[in-house]
Amino acid sequence: MKNMFTLKSLFKRFLKRKQVRQSPLEEINTMITSIKYHSPDSGSLILMLAVSLVFFYLAQIGYIPFSGQRPSATSVNTPASGIDKNLEAVVFPTKGITVAARWGDAIGKLVDAGVIDQDKFTATMEQDGTALTIEELAILGGDDGIKNRQLVFTAANSRFMVDALWALGLAQESKVLLEGPMKGTDTASLASTGGWTLGKKDAMSYYGKFNLLNLNDADQERVLQITSQIYRPCCGNSTAFPDCNHGMAMLGLVELMISQEASDNQIFEAAKAANAFWFPDSTLELAAYFQTIKNISWQKVSPVTAVSAEYASSQGAQKINQALQEQGTLPQARGGGSCGA
């Protein structure tokens, strides 16, 4: 009876092994050692336990002995676990990614115009546990000392960057908004418009109303041309159809950079950086795909390619995910932002 009680207790411990920092096989060895300690003469029990737990472990990883069923590519620990940390350091540098754009005074003007209600904006960030930093408050305030500071995308500021640039994309006068695919939709009901609740009025009161960046006709054509080539993993649309917050934020980023005469390559590099921190799971998978399947390091992946429909749209991201699953090199998920304010 004592032996059976010990066996039941140890087996329950194995079933709860997620709380124990050991691999399943290490846990089996630990329990066998424990049985030997409590019952030195329980050789048959040890053998039964060892066989039972080995079968249980094999079932856990998808292999049923004698059935011909083998573990799937994603059911076991794969080489992906070994590349995750190295890839993360490359894709998401600790110090972030600095891009060829300056804040200028556009965000401060958005606050003055009521597009951004600073009290609402600040309260929403605090409620989500991401209180504004001194620098972010200065950006909202349009402080002179911040105007020439370059944009830096980091994991910590991704929410602020999306929301601040979202407001800019929403309010800046643009052919993308007034003449592009958005024109033929129920514009007010889209996530990028109806979802903007951080202004003093409803989003449509500000929609494409201000030429804050002094863009001319040539600039507007360039905005349309570049945004039509930048995609996001949350949907199948390009930035030329900014129907969600990320699309509208990317539009604001492109417009800001064009107003500062950034080159096409600099803009695509910035889009690649933004997508990395706004869609960390999809970007890490894309980097793993190029590294393990294409033998191309993430640094050498062209930014135009990285944000293209083939790889950065929702359809492209799904294909990448499937390819990694089939090879067994799917990185662990990190999580990402939503399409709301």
Residue 68 belongs to a domain: no
Q: What is the pLDDT of residue 333?
A: 66
User: Is 169 among the domain residues?
Assistant: yes
Q: Name the residue with tokens 């006068």.
A: 173
Do 96 and 22 fall within a single domain? no
User: At residue 238, what are phi and psi to the nearest 5 degrees?
Assistant: -85, 175
Residues in Cβ contact with 259 at an 8 Å cutoff, skipping those fewer than 6 apart: 104, 213, 214, 215, 219
C-alpha 92/C-alpha 100 separation (Å) is 18
CA–CA dist 106, 164 (Å, integer): 10
- 124 and 265 in a single domain? The answer is yes
Tell me: do 54 and 10 sit in the same domain.
yes
Domain check: are 49 and 100 in the same one? no
Supply the DSSP symbol for 134: H
Identify the pLDDT of residue 202.
96
Q: Six-digit token pair at 15? A: 């079933």
Q: Does some domain include residue 297?
A: yes
pLDDT of residue 72: 35
Same domain, 54 and 137: no
- Does some domain include residue 229? yes
Cβ proximity of 228 and 76 under 8 Å: no
Q: Is residue 341 part of a domain?
A: no
Residue 311 belongs to a domain: yes
Count of the separate structural domains present in the chain: 2
Three-class DSSP category at 57: helix
Residues 153 and 35 in one domain: no
Separation CA 190–CA 196 (nearest Å): 10
**Residue numbers of the domain that contains 21:** 2-60
- Quote the pLDDT of residue 63: 38
What pTM, to 2 d.p., does this model score? 0.75
Same structural domain, 193 and 290:
yes
199, part of any domain = yes
Are 221 and 289 found together in one domain?
Answer: yes
In a domain? residue 49: yes
CB atoms within 10 A of CB 132: 17
Beta-bridge partners for 231 = 238
Same-domain check for residues 200 and 272: yes
Question: Based on the number of CB atoms within 10 Å of its own CB, is 285 exposed (0-12), middle (13-18) or buried (19 or more)?
Answer: buried
Per-residue pLDDT of the chain (341 residues; tens, 9 = 90+): 444 433 444 344 344 333 333 344 444 444 444 444 344 455 555 555 555 554 444 444 343 343 333 333 332 223 344 456 789 999 999 999 999 999 999 999 999 999 999 999 999 999 988 899 999 999 999 999 999 999 999 999 999 999 999 999 999 999 999 999 998 789 999 999 999 999 999 999 999 999 999 999 999 999 999 999 999 999 889 999 999 999 999 999 999 999 999 999 999 999 999 999 999 999 999 999 999 999 999 999 999 999 999 999 999 999 999 999 999 989 876 665 555 55
Cα separation, 16 vs 206, in Å, equals 55
Residues 6+ apart with CB under 8 A from 254: 223, 226, 227, 230, 239, 267, 271
Shared-domain flag, residues 278 and 318? yes
Question: Tell me, what's the pLDDT at 336?
Answer: 55
Determine if residue 142 is left, alpha or beta; phi over 0 gives left, psi from -120 to 50 gives alpha, anything else beta: left
153 and 214 share one domain: yes
Q: What is the pLDDT of residue 130?
A: 85
- What is the DSSP annotation of 109-175? HHHHHTSS-HHHHHHHHHHTT-PPPHHHHHHHHT-GGGTTPEEEE-STTHHHHHHHHHHHHHHB--H
Amino acid at 157: N
The confidence score (pLDDT) of residue 55 equals 46
Token match 């605090």: residue? 126
Model pLDDT, residue 128: 84
Q: Are 121 and 37 in the same domain?
A: no
